[in-house]
């Protein structure tokens, strides 16, 4: 019951603040001015109500507020913080040499992609690239390393099974390939931007 009353109160308050009410009220005030000057005559209530209704009808419709999406720059800052935490976690995990080498290569590539001076601006313009990079850092790498750490313990109890380090190395290789393809796509996008600007300057020079 209290919820319904609160909802009705909110509706009333929203209408009082709406464009329709403001426009109608302004028109109604004009009707009162006509009444005070004697132009409305005995029918001044009808005039005031009619002007209010006319003002409310011609008022522009209410526009819902546009959604406030996350700023790409803030998203990348948060991703850099998560990458730093991932590095701290990886520094505590003992990995086999082959997987450790592949992880070092992947770490360097991810660091370059997140470097504001290198690819920061290009990455802000690539929402899909940012999402893919977030998935690698926040999900794929931690899952691969954690699964290896847990599986390695079970392998010691049941020798002869498929070595977990082989899967880890393969997973890190696939993630490196994905990140490398992302870097290539960003490089190509920057190259196209440069070519487009060159073309623009050439066309402007010919037209001047």
Q: CB-based contacts of 30: which residues, under 8 Å, 6+ apart?
A: 51
Question: What pLDDT does residue 76 have?
Answer: 84
Question: What pLDDT does residue 152 have?
Answer: 78
What are the pLDDT digits (tens) for 109-167? 999 888 877 666 677 777 788 889 999 999 999 999 999 988 877 666 566 667 888 99
Cβ–Cβ < 8 Å for 179, 102: no
Give the torsion sign (CA, 115, 121, 122, 125): positive
Question: What pLDDT does residue 74 have?
Answer: 82
Cβ–Cβ < 8 Å for 102, 169: yes
Q: For a pLDDT cut of 70, what percent of the chain falls above it?
A: 58
The rounded distance, in Å, linking the Cα atoms of 36 and 66 is: 43
What are the pLDDT digits (tens) for 1-37? 555 555 666 555 565 456 665 665 666 566 556 565 6
């Amino acid at each position: 019951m209290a919820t319904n009353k609160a909802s009705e109160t909110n509706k009333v308050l929203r209408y009082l603040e709406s464009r329709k009410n403001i426009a109608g009220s302004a028109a109604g005030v004009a009707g009162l001015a006509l009444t005070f000057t004697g132009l409305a005559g005995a029918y001044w209530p009808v005039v005031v109500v009619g002007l209010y209704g006319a003002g409310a009808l011609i008022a522009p419709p209410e526009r819902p507020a546009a959604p406030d999406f996350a700023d790409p720059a803030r998203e990348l800052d948060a991703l850099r913080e998560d990458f730093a935490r991932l590095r701290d976690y990886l520094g505590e995990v003992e990995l086999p040499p082959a997987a450790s080498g592949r992880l070092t290569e992947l770490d360097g590539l991810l660091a370059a992609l997140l470097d504001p001076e290198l690819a920061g601006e290009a990455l802000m313009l690539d929402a899909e690239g940012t999402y893919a990079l977030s998935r690698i850092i926040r999900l794929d790498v931690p899952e691969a390393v954690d699964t290896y750490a847990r599986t390695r313990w079970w392998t010691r109890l049941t020798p002869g099974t498929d070595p977990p380090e082989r899967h880890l190395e393969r997973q890190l290789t696939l993630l490196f390939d994905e990140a490398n393809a992302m870097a290539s796509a960003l490089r190509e996008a920057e190259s196209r931007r440069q070519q487009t600007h060159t073309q623009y300057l050439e066309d402007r020079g010919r037209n001047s």
